[in-house]
Amino acid sequence: MASNPNFELAAAVADLVISDETAVADPAPLLMSEDETAVADPEEGAAKLQAAQEAQRLRKNHLSTAAYARKKAEREKEVADLSKTVTDLTIKYEQDKEAWLDEREVLLAYINHLQNLLVQK
Task: Give 77-120 pLDDT, tens digit per residue.
Answer: 999 999 999 999 999 999 999 999 999 999 999 999 999 999 88
Q: Taking Cα atoms as reference points, which of 47, 53, 77 lies closest to residue 61?
A: 53
pLDDT at 55 over 70: yes
Specify the number of domains making up the chain.
1
pLDDT at 46 over 80: yes
Can you give the pTM of this predicted structure? 0.42
Report, as an integer, the average pLDDT of 53-66.
87
Q: Are 48 and 33 in contact (CB under 8 A)?
A: yes
d(CA 67, CA 61): 10
Range of the domain at 77: 5-120
Whole-number pLDDT of residue 13: 67
**Residue 70 CB coordination number (10 Å):** 10
Mean pLDDT, the chain, integer = 80
